Structure 1
């Protein structure tokens, strides 16, 4: 029974390890078969996310309009020295909706080795006996220019091409779009919104700027905001990277602090239903946490959620575009926002922090962002004054969140793992030695677990202060982090209480205590490691993805150590039992003599494994604390 109790955490740790490996960021060997899913054009089996920086690859369409059965030239080209190894290409009705079926036939030119993607073929019309298709590459050779011809089997309305470009398993762009190919039979031709790029040459001179990363030019900025001030209005230019999919937004907020709540929000959002990029105003509230829209114009349609007829216009002018994964809005807004809308902050007030966010927008209304490193809103490191034409840069750090992470690593990876090893495998060790009248294993176990308890309590207090109380993430697995944390906290509080009322060894209730003490300790320990893995994905901690693999290495090492000690304990069980029987017999035969208890069989191996575990765990713990602290 004891062996089963000791082995169960190992099995659970193996499950945790498998889950960690599945969610890791490791590279996968690339093959052409990985490209691509018909529904959303994502490659199969790649753990990395698509690149959101502007793609160096383009879809060039050789005509402005089409008529059925007339060929249109389509080229996939590279605008840089970078080449792609695999691709997906198909035409879709405009505007494209995820899950739409391809339209028209893409035909190969002579001497080209590409293939039709079989599961993307659709029948257009039974009367004309023609199919629509998508094309993928057959090989993984590097390509910089690939030529096709496309023809429509019938009229589809306006059409756009979508392509996925794969360089390798870490670098790829998904669902890049072409310009619109118009249906020649329609009188209305869609006109793409395009505005001039944001000029950064005058930053710090005649315009104020905030850029992330520092000193970037607009195509390479994760976020960029510029402003020019006059006596009545401020002209803003807001830009940011999106993932190239429809209905995306980039927003900035004016805040008194680094946290969302009681903020004035300006959103640049693309609405695919209207194929229009617009500016929207809103404000955040603290309790309840919500984003509330504000009408930007005095007159709006009756069915528009932004409509209100009682206020003056807030926006003086606006224009926007969404092209090649970049959202861009240029708008002029009144400075005295609070005159008609007391919920908003005036733009002529004291300096404020800027908060930037991006994500999915539903008809222009921004949806809640995630909390991962890529999704957490960026807060400016310093307060920004819109009355100054200065250069601002740098993101805020969250030292309490980092301290929470460092303390949890120290508590569970170092102290808890050592304390549990001592109580599981080292009770027979050093049988004749004591420290402060306690066996070595008990002294080490008690102090490790007591230290772990204190550190965990401090870490939980810090994160509650940072979050302003209990905070719930929007989706799994991050949503599970605070829940698991509370369960772990309950377990580590109950266990010391049980220890205080521990019955004596000959008490009939002692086995019951042993089971409960083991159960609560095992639950806390098994849940702690996956909770740490989940916590490393939170944006406030800013842990680089590769740090996850350092912790995975430690988990593998710890499992190997436990398995080795478990096997060693099984192999030496009979010998140690026989050795102890002889020692007890000798004590009975010669009761007046002192007979020290013999060291267990394999004590040198167990001592070596303990010191190896302590040393390696110390190095890993130190590395993780440094990474979390400085990242």
Structure 2
């Protein structure tokens, strides 16, 4: 009997200790820095989160607030949650929550606003606490509200802070911000883009513009500006077909307010990713209308949200379809969504069918550091003409002209050396005379003049395409700056060629190096400019086009290296200018003139022919790629 009494006493003491320790007293509930006696506090934003059903509020609006667990084994035990203004005052009121087996209490602050808390939890912990907050008594000048919570778990107080809840602006009112429009010139540089139509270069005049920026390896920021009166959005598809996709929709209601929804869509009928929580999985989502445009911004995790948010009583099971969530860490297809029709109809939410092709054969990798430029339509005619003319001018004509000028002055010289031989074949004299047939100098000026003409025509084509406006962005800036340098050099080369002085004089030496510098600079910069243009927003050719041009550059280098080695191995003879007829050092009756053979005159033209043939094939392939480019 005594043993039993001792056992009961011990059990009573243990039960008393458990009861005492299971009750938590929150101090300073109405202040941002709530405390619990005997517990240390720490930042809990990586353990818990506060989700809101909307990102905007109006007076008397009801906002669903969800305090949820992020990490496993950190269930929500005792907690306190409240809404604060920018001065740290509690605002608004919470409704009485209906949560089984959980007694939630209200605490009224001096200004009449309320906070809710639970100081005793019998269960091992909840994964989610659903609450409802009302913007009752909120001052009309209050623009932003912050929800803060304190969560007790594992004898530790975790402080949690939600993203800001902003006041809903009247229709037509645009908040002050520097990113209301999308700078298309930054596409492919600091952001990826999807533009409709592709040749549009002003976001304010485009039908649809989407940009995205990877904030880190797990998150991306999206920005949509579209000409629509109903709703806009973006679809993420696992294949090249519409249907069974995850879409983000920004819909305008009858009052002109824009709400952001995370949804699934089978064909035309969308449904929420998380039933009862329209913006689940999105952060910092905001949308508004501005005249004919709807503007929408949101931050989305690249990883699929696989947390099914099941509470201990399994009340939330089945509210989210985990199988249909897309993992944007893997390449996915994207397509634009925009419409003037209302999203909500008498038959429910419906997305009207749009004849806008999905971004085919170009899955987007949102984690890729080289930003994508995705376009569902092809480049403009002027942009294609600009590309074709520059390819013909610099890959074909300029390369051939430079090769001939540098290595064929001895094979096809302007002045040809001839020798005088007697009947036995012995050389008795020599002569130097101007060639009556073509020479390297009769070939080079027409070629470089043609290059200059084609380059300037291409330049005016792209000026008309850009509406005579200079482009910005690092990628486009270098393409433009280097292109202007090439343009100036192409203009100067023929003019300098016309001013050619008498050969083998001091002015000729100065002229030679100036002309060589201008032509070499133009040719050396023109090919990189073409490379940059092939990876441009207005004409983003397939990757194999860049590899083809790169292979041609290697081929060009090998051919030039062969010619250069041959030129170094054989000394070149200099020919003086003959002003009056032919001169002989020695002349006798019966002697005849024989043309002197030049080293390489047999195989060098053959190699040049092969070079021109390969170059012509490469140019034709690149031209066909430009002509048949239809965007992707």
TM bucket by the smaller chain? 0.3 to 0.5
Q: TM-score, normalised by structure 1?
A: 0.44
